[in-house]
Amino acid sequence: MYLADEKRYEKMPYRKCGKSGLKLSAISLGLWQNFGYRDSFDNMENMCHTAFDLGVTHFDLANNYGNPYNGSAEENFGLILKRGMMQYRDELCISTKAGYEMWDGPYGDRNGSRKYLTASLDQSLKRMGLEYVDIFYHHVFDPNTPLEETALALDNAVRQGKALYVGISNYNKAQTEEIMSIFKELKTPFILNQPSYSMLNRWVEADGLDKFAVEQGFGLAVFSPLYQGLLTDRYLKGVPEDSRIGKGRTWIGNKLTDELVAKLNELNEIAKGRNQSLAQMALSWLLANPAVTTVLVGASRPQQIIDNVGAVYAPEFTENELEKIREIITSVNV
């Protein structure tokens, strides 16, 4: 039987989701990769246990996570809960999402309809063996469904007791502002937007979404913080054969130019001066943005989670460090 580390809450900082009362661990575990049908269950379970032992309380899923079968990540996580972590259910914040293609036919394709979102959440709860999730997200903006319908479906999930809070993902500032106005009218507990964001992907800054989040009182739970592994030490000397790019398992392979490698090495020198790895500094940099509630990390083995959580123990950035980083990443074009 799994017993969590008694000291798990001593070092991890917990940050509020905007103006809500909910706090999330600064680092969260995303179960997008390496939790699928063909992955090692023992490794998945060890990663979840390692994360929780380090104070990670937020576990983020989606209906279509798991390769090659949609839903297999939720099924595996449900089994991990059943095998020991369920005793800590009230200490966990479990989120799931729906919006991308999930099952055959017009009601399971990419959309934000009430029928799709309602059915998907019921399926997710069944796969994980849960009565409710803490956060239910609409996974991607759907231009073919009125936002009022999507907002009402999310609100209904809360009123039915199937979710405590709601969120949106991959929504820009304008889309967020529009659906927020509906949530406010309904008094829906909307607390998070989940966008991609990293040193190499700063669209939320250009869009103004991060400043808007601070102004309006919701948080950002950011994914792809290491830009598919580019912001790690793996690519400082080129492309290893066993890397994502080397295996052709990522869409960003053609972005690793000689110029970018040089910039990554410059960033790595700053990280060394902070006694951090490049990956840790990339996570710390995101957490320095007041709009960011939590950073979602993926992992293929427990040691990666240990290394990533180390980002929260770092000292604050000096103004000189931030200026050097700003100069480097401003000139990066990916």
- Cα separation, 57 vs 14, in Å, equals 9
State residue 240's pLDDT score.
Answer: 66
What is the token pair recorded at 273?
């001066």
What is the token pair recorded at 288?
């320095």
pTM as predicted: 0.95
State residue 258's pLDDT score.
Answer: 86
Please give the single-letter amino acid code of residue 43. Answer: N
State residue 247's pLDDT score.
Answer: 54
- The sign of the dihedral angle between the CA atoms of 269, 271, 274, 275 is negative
Is the separation of the CB atoms in 217 and 189 below 8 Å?
A: no
Nearest to 61 by CA among 26, 34, 91: 34
Nearest to 10 by CA among 315, 317, 312: 312
CATH number for region 15-228+288-314: 3.20.20.100
Domain-wise residue ranges, the chain: 15-228+288-314
- Give me the tens of pLDDT residue by residue for the chain, a chain 334 residues long: 899 999 999 999 999 999 999 999 999 999 999 999 999 999 999 999 999 999 999 999 999 999 888 899 999 999 999 999 999 999 999 999 999 999 999 999 999 999 999 999 999 999 999 999 999 999 999 999 999 999 999 999 999 999 999 999 999 999 999 999 999 999 999 999 999 999 999 999 999 999 999 999 999 999 999 998 999 998 898 766 555 554 555 656 577 888 899 999 999 999 999 999 999 999 999 999 999 999 999 999 999 999 999 999 999 999 999 999 999 999 776 7
Is the separation of the CB atoms in 271 and 278 below 8 Å?
A: yes
- Cα separation, 245 vs 236, in Å, equals 13
Distances (CA, A) of 45 to 31, 42, 77, 239: 11, 5, 8, 30
DSSP state of 314: S
> For 198, phi and psi rounded to 5 degrees?
-165, 175
Q: How many other CB atoms are found less than 10 A from the CB of residue 38?
A: 10
Is the separation of the CB atoms in 123 and 94 below 8 Å?
A: no
Q: DSSP labels for 55-74?
A: T--EEE--TT-SSSSTTHHH
- Cα separation, 261 vs 59, in Å, equals 32
- Cα separation, 183 vs 20, in Å, equals 14
The vertex-6 CA angle with 27 and 20, nearest 5°, equals 40
- Cα separation, 93 vs 21, in Å, equals 13
Give the length of the chain.
334
State residue 51's pLDDT score.
Answer: 98
E strand or H helix at 271: helix 258-273
Is the separation of the CB atoms in 214 and 241 below 8 Å?
A: no
- Cα separation, 165 vs 2, in Å, equals 28
State residue 235's pLDDT score.
Answer: 86
